[in-house]
Chain A
Amino acid sequence: MEPLNALIVLLNFVIVPATAYGAQLALGALGVTLIYGILRFSNFAHGDTMAFGAMATILFTWFLQGAGVTFGPLPTALLALPVGIAATAALVLITDRAVYKFYRAQKAAPVIYVIASLGVMFIMNGLVRFIIGPNDQRFADGERFIISVRTFKAMTGLDEGLAIRTSQGITLVVAIIAVALLFWFLNKTRTGKSMRAFSDNEDLALLSGINPERVVMVTWLLVAALTTVAGVLYGLDKSFKPFTYFQLLLPIFAAAIVGGLGNPLGAIAGGFVIAFSEVGVTYAFKKVLGYLLPETLKPDGLVQLLSTDYKFAVSFVILVIVLLIRPTGLFRGKSL
């Protein structure tokens, strides 16, 4: 029983939370990487686009809840997701028309785009706070747990419990579906192929008759869908607060860069690398070792590599190492 208990502790406190967090980061990083691959700039407004998408979904969720519509054991927010995506798509397309199109026509340098996206970030920041306010909003409903600590203990008779939240399960399932759809789209459809061609070599793509405005529009639509899904999943799993979405920007960029900017596969891997290193490196292995080692060798200390204060340092150390040793990221970046 002892090794089983150790495994359950590890699952409950490291593997399950890190997997859910990793999936959220991966969805966010996919959006960043798409924009980088096709529009060729780092979009700093990404975190706040996520916040906007989540906000639109929350508002519609409240409307549905008010009208008495629920989704059984699943959160109502999933029903509201298409509306949220549509609202976000409208917002990013308007932003593109109003801001980025101007710079595209001028063939501006990437750094100018980045600064422009910084401005867009502040405007979206304000917009979200203006509409829904800066406070915590809770919109999760339905069953909270797929399996809770208490039922797990009763079922298995083990000393340690395992909790899997519905939101964690949904996060993983939705993330897998979204990624599968994205890869199918990029690899199998005509539009997807033209996007990859545009990303590979813009001039050649233009010569072969690909309409750049169309590619840009499709990219923004994909980004809107990905950010809204990521934002809503994150909000369901933790809670919705505009400021934390702004803070998410850093781990998301770290994930995208570690994986290789512009490479969708890399974005997913990067998300999980960052999440697992944040949780794993700072985890105290006292309990796990306590179960595994014989009585005489049981540790007194926490057996913690780094204090949790340094968890953000961990992801950035990985980022620095990757940039030094393999600047294009784990998977070769820069093209779709």
Chain B
Amino acid sequence: MKKLLMATAATALMSTAAFAGGHGADIKIGIILGFTGPIESLTPSMGDGAELAISEVNDSGLLLGGKTVEGVRADSTCVDAAAATAAAERLITSDGVKGIMGADCSGVTGAILTNVALPNGVVMISPSATSPGLSHNNNEDNGLFFRTAPSDARQGVVMTEVLMDQGIMEVAVTYTNNDYGKGLADSFQAAFEAAGGTVTINAAHEDGKADYSAEVGALAAAGGDRLVVAGYVDQGGSGIVRAALDTGAFDTFHFPDGMISATLIENFGSEIDGSSGQHPSPSDELAAAYTALVDGAFDATSPFTPEAYDAAALIMLAMQAAGSEEPGDYKDHVMAVANAPGEQIQVGELAKALQILADGGEVDLVGATNVELVGPGEAAGNYREVGFDGGAEVTVQFR
């Protein structure tokens, strides 16, 4: 058995080495996503999005005087920090990647950043990690970490604006008891109170439980004009809404991204008329442009694939702006190519951007998600504000 294991390991080692040797690209970019694990249904399209940007740059032949780029995929597993760290370590030491498009889930992203990217000085741009804990406001990341998905702290601010615009100053909050729910509820409470509103209660609920009358009883006693449900529509979130409607505790609700889904309408129909919500989403025009560029090669509407395209594009444009593929050189140019001033670059116009940068000009990547990096290098995010009317979900506006 031991021999068999040794032989397998040796073969695996040799074949990776053979693979590595077989590729002739000048620059490698790591694509670390959870190709196995809880979000394995989303990651193939995300990887394809990043590779779409890479092939667009390769076809132009304009990057750093005609260098070619190759994406190297690795598995983050989404949940196993040790496996993700090992995968990233391999990408950097044996494949020699110059930047990482990834990782996906917030937990493993933080692990890769502190254990691998920081010590090796490699730039990471995550398309989907949204935890407020990843905002490095004091430069703990040496300017190496960016994300094209907005932090949930940002969603808290957007939520506050949506509610305040409707004149709602007092709300009760319930959240699903995990990192997502707690992070979102806390950031919302901070933003809402800073804007002069009152959060009467901020209470957790567990998913998949038998009975929610105790939770709704407490929420009702605290009162408020609206109930904010930071949960999952397939889990306890719907149970809370059901119980709140039946007891007459609340008539209208506010739903963040975990609750916005066709299931919500299916479950409650016109009972939630007058409620509001928001979720991160590029505008319809941007989504249409991206779908046209993808042209059926993969599912362009799958979550976070536009963000992945933009993340990979940012890495390569920053290299061009710096005139070097070394992370230490180009990390300072990521914000510049993402934001104004400069020529606006739509999806499919990466060749134009590379030419402008080569000529010494400036670009502002709009890309697939209208990228705008704020604060410590994270997307400002575009949110779709939704309302509920006549048993249907309607788009109010984009924020």
* Distance to closest chain B CB from A272 (angstroms): 13
- A284 touching B218 in the complex, CB below 8 Å, given contacts A13-B249, A135-B234: yes
With an 8 Å Cβ cutoff, the count of chain B residues facing the other chain is 30
CB distance from B72 to the nearest CB of A (A): 36
Q: Is the CB of A13 within 8 A of B203?
A: no
Q: Please state if A12 and B238 are interface contacts (CB–CB under 8 Å).
A: no
- Given A286-B222, A302-B222, A309-B204, does the pair A244, B214 have CB atoms closer than 8 Å? no
Asked if residues B216 and A13 are in contact (CB atoms below 8 Å), the reply is yes
Q: Verify A279–B214 contact, CB threshold 8 A.
A: yes
Instruction: Flag the segment in A14-22, A93-101, A210-218, A316-324 that touches B.
Output: A14-22
Provide the bound-state CA to CA distance between A312 and B214, in Å: 11
Q: Are B211 and A21 in contact (CB under 8 A)?
A: yes
Binds A, one of B157-165, B239-247, B307-315: B239-247
Contact with A along B220-239 (1 / 0, CB 8 A): 11110000000000100011
Q: Within the complex, which residue of A148, A248, A283, A309 is in contact with B221, where a contact is CB–CB below 8 Å?
A: A283
Check B217–A14 contact: CB distance below 8 A: yes
Distance of A161 Cα from B211 Cα, bound (Å) = 21
Residues of chain B within 8 A (CB-CB) of A309 are 177, 203-204, 206
C-alpha spacing A244/B236, complex, angstroms:
10
Q: How far is the CA of A282 from the CA of B217 in the complex (A)?
A: 9
Most buried by A among B206, B209, B213, B214: B214
Closest to A311 in B: B214
Q: Name the A residues within 8 Å of B217 (CB-CB).
A: 13-14, 17, 279, 282-284
- Expressed in whole angstroms, the minimum distance between the Cβ of B215 and any Cβ of chain A is 5
Query: With contacts A21-B211, A136-B234 known, is A13 near B201, CB below 8 A?
Result: no
Q: How far is the CB of A162 from chain B (nearest CB, A)?
A: 8
List residues of chain A with CB within 8 A of the CB of B234. Answer: 135-136
List B contacts of A21 (CB < 8 A). Answer: 210-211, 213
B65 contacts partner chain A, Cβ-Cβ < 8 Å: no
B96 within 8 Å of A (CB atoms) = no
Q: Are A286 and B204 in contact (CB under 8 A)?
A: no
| Residue pair A302, B211 in contact (C-beta under 8 Å) | no
A149 to B216 Cα, complex, angstroms? 15
Annotate A1-29 by CB proximity to B: 1 below 8 A, 0 otherwise: 00000000100111001100100000000
| A residues 229-262 in Cβ contact with B at 8 Å | 234, 238-239, 241, 243-244, 247-248, 251
The answer to the question of B205 belonging to the interface, with a C-beta cut-off of 8 Å to chain A, is yes
A308 within 8 A of B: yes
Interchain CB contact under 8 A, A244 and B210: yes
Cβ 8 A contact of B218, one of A18, A234, A302: A302
Q: Max chain A CB contacts within 10 Å: which of B177, B234, B248?
A: B248
Q: Show 16 A/B contacts (Cβ-Cβ < 8 Å), sorted by A.
A: A14-B217, A17-B213, A17-B243, A21-B210, A135-B234, A144-B246, A283-B214, A283-B217, A283-B221, A285-B221, A287-B223, A302-B201, A302-B221, A308-B205, A309-B203, A311-B215
